[in-house]
Amino acid sequence: MLLTDKVAIVTGGGSGIGEATSLRFSQEGAAVVVADMRLRKAEAVAKQINEQGGHALAIEVDVSIAESVATLVDRTVAEYGQLDVMFNNAGTLRPGTVIELDVDDWDLVMGVNVRSVYLGGKFAIPAMLNSGGGSIINTASISGLHGDGGAVAYAASKAAVINLTRAMSTDHAADGIRVNAICPGTIETPPVMRMMEDPVALEINMRAHAIGRLGRPEEIASAALWLASDESSFVTGEAIVVDGGLRAQSPLGRLADPRPEHLR
């Protein structure tokens, strides 16, 4: 029970990584606020937690709007009296090169992926100070560590999340607030699996990971749990890569791979 007596907000909590993390946080003793733009999905996750004997509240939120995030934090503190963990997990993707991508889509991705982290910290940190400290976790991506083709807004936004994480951690370490990011590889979330409907695309993505498969939302939830708990009390300002060996694996494969004599 790593999160006993803790209160956590999970944005994007209605599906995918957010859903898995909301459930895991509850199983580890936290009261969980499941925050999502789609209230119906957030309510379904909160209902599941409450039926399992946990404590959860569903709140509708637009993470790119200051008033909405401020209300989310205020309602959490009003309901549970404190805030210990803020998981800024909500995100979106719009494909395209700089030529192809519409300006409005750029602004949307930056709002949901980056502005949300700024707002999450802006309103969560004062509440955490009243509780004696806390942990902020931001969902970044391996796309923030290298250049993905055809996804300039997403790659730029996730790189911004990583350095925003570092800057926030530096500013608030003395306050007892740790700030870290998780950089997932390709994870089996609903939007990702819609992109993988082509079996060839799925096979390519699976082979790109050294482990030979896509990641599961529950595996990212485990990383988030560690960062939320006191087990990671000396960790702040980090971008933790959880990618099944995707970045470790050279695209060249085995340089000494044996070949037939006539091909050498």
Q: Which residues have a catalytic role annotated?
A: 154
**CA dihedral sign of residues 237, 158, 40, 76:** positive
Residues with Cβ within 8 Å of residue 259, at least 6 apart in sequence? none
Rounded (10°) angle between helices 66-80 and 116-130: 30
**Distance, CA of 248 to CA of 234 (rounded, Å):** 25
Residues with Cβ within 8 Å of residue 96, at least 6 apart in sequence? 102, 105, 150, 151, 152, 153
**Distance, CA of 118 to CA of 80 (rounded, Å):** 23
Structure tokens at 221: 């939830």
Q: DSSP state, 113?
A: I
**Distance, CA of 72 to CA of 58 (rounded, Å):** 10
**Pure H helices in the chain:** 16-27, 39-51, 66-80, 103-110, 116-130, 152-172, 190-195, 199-208, 217-228
**Distance, CA of 37 to CA of 35 (rounded, Å):** 7
Q: Are 128 and 83 in contact (CB under 8 A)?
A: yes
